[in-house]
Amino acid sequence: MLLTAPDCFSSSHLPFASIKNSTAAVILKRFRLNSVSQTRTSRRLCRASLITSPDSFEVGRLIGSYGFMNITSYSGLRDIEYSSGDLGRLGVQDVGEGSVKIRLYEGRIAQGPLKGTSVMFKVYPGQRTGGIEADMMAANELNAHAFLQSSSKGLCQNLVVLVGGFETKTGEQWLAFRSDGKYSAADYAKLTSEKISKNHSAGESSWNRFETEQILKCRRYFVIKLFQGAMSGLAYMHDHDRLHQSLGPSSVILKYVVAFTIVEKDAAYLVPRLRDLSFSVDISFQNLEEDPGTFSEGLWRRAAAAGAFTPMEKRAFGIADDVYEAGLLLAYLAFVTFCEANVMDSLSLQRLLESTFRLDLQATREYCLADDRLLEAVKFLDLGEGAGWELLQAMLNPDFQQRPIAEAVINHRFTAGAVL
């Protein structure tokens, strides 16, 4: 029944409602998983350790909700997650809203050895509301975590941990994850940019140059630590033949060893963790040859368009595609976190990089350098004689074969912190 040692969990004391009226039908039973790769012994062992009784959980307050949107970009059609406020800023020609809406709840384990352990529930709608796609996403996310958590190398500290799941009478799929914190990289960037705007409005940005430099120094270290952790999680997934395929600022949760707040000066205690594996793709050679998977059709169409046809080429393309998404994440962290609110958002930045400058980062830099509002983002990427731009250009290389693997990104002098 234990997924990991009890001391890896943290407890909270919140008002909770029991969910004993839920049916005992479990996701693990409903999705017996058709492919050969989904019935491996290691996965069965991991499933056996998950908590699958709805009576074992209690549900707290609703944290929020989000959905998915399809974005046509340079690297093709992809599905990424969004918060409810994002769509109003996007052009209809670029974006199509998905039908699956996911809810998040606080919760805790109500009985057993882990009683009192806090969890976060990710709730997929039933088929009546979300269609078969919602069920498939829930099953895919569960299978990805079950496989990764069965590794002989142990749990990866840069991935969230699934502790169990169940199905309700209405067909909703509830996945329970260890509660590692409530803030994502997107939340951090938004809060930071709003703070910059507030300080500028109050005229507090330049009266103490030393203090300003210290704040920027802490922020740079925090952002690099965040990005480094996200890449470590991605490297772990790739080493275990899994793609993320939905990597973005909302899919990186910020866990602190000592607290659950965002404090840049406490970056040493930050442990970024990847979540949202509902679009994860199995790139083991056996799977590529036998069962391409439910959510990978678009990926392999783009692979074919790029000249990747053999299992080896397709695997390399998939890894490079994840690295491209990670490059967009790095650009987001630079241009949203270091600028005032509403100066730049993820879709505007993506259009700027892909459509306006066709992934020419030198031209992008010259453009941004002429805009005072983007100056701190430029300075951040300029660290180490342009090490940030160098890394970004490599990760966003139009030729997928020229992009670095995740491990190489981690070891780059910019990500490794040598530029600080």
What pLDDT is stored for residue 266 in this prediction?
81
Give Cβ neighbours of residue 247 (< 8 Å, ≥ 6 apart): 230, 234, 274, 322, 325, 326, 329
Residue 364 has pLDDT above 90, yes or no: yes
Give Cβ neighbours of residue 193 (< 8 Å, ≥ 6 apart): 336, 337, 339, 340, 341, 342, 343
What pLDDT is stored for residue 327 in this prediction?
98
Rounded to whole angstroms, the Cα distance separating 1 from 46 reads: 10
Q: What is the mean pLDDT of residues 404-415?
A: 98
Residue 368 pLDDT level (bands cut at 50, 70, 90): very high
Residue 300 has pLDDT above 80, yes or no: yes
What pLDDT is stored for residue 419 in this prediction?
81
Cβ atoms of 29 and 125 within 8 Å: the answer is no
Residue 78 pLDDT level (bands cut at 50, 70, 90): very low
Comparing 101 with 177, the larger pLDDT belongs to: 177
Residue 83 pLDDT level (bands cut at 50, 70, 90): very low
Q: What is the mean pLDDT of residues 44-65?
A: 80
The number of C-alpha atoms within 13 Å of 259 and in the hemisphere containing its C-beta is: 8
Residue 383 has pLDDT above 70, yes or no: yes
- Phi and psi angles of residue 206, each rounded to the nearest 5 degrees, phi first: -130, 5
**What digits encode the pLDDT tens for the residues 183-230?**
999 999 999 999 999 887 766 655 577 788 889 999 999 999 999 999
**What digits encode the pLDDT tens for the residues 123-176?**
999 887 778 899 999 999 999 999 999 998 889 999 999 999 999 999 999 999
Comparing 94 with 323, the larger pLDDT belongs to: 323
Residue 24 has pLDDT above 70, yes or no: no
Q: Worst-scoring range by mean pLDDT, 69-73, 245-249, 266-270, 280-284?
A: 69-73
Measured between alpha carbons, how far is residue 44 from residues 37, 114, 406 in Å?
A: 11, 21, 29
Q: What would the two tokens of residue 195 be?
A: 């703070």
Residue 35 has pLDDT above 70, yes or no: no
**What digits encode the pLDDT tens for the residues 232-253?**
999 999 999 999 999 999 999 9
Residue 261 pLDDT level (bands cut at 50, 70, 90): low
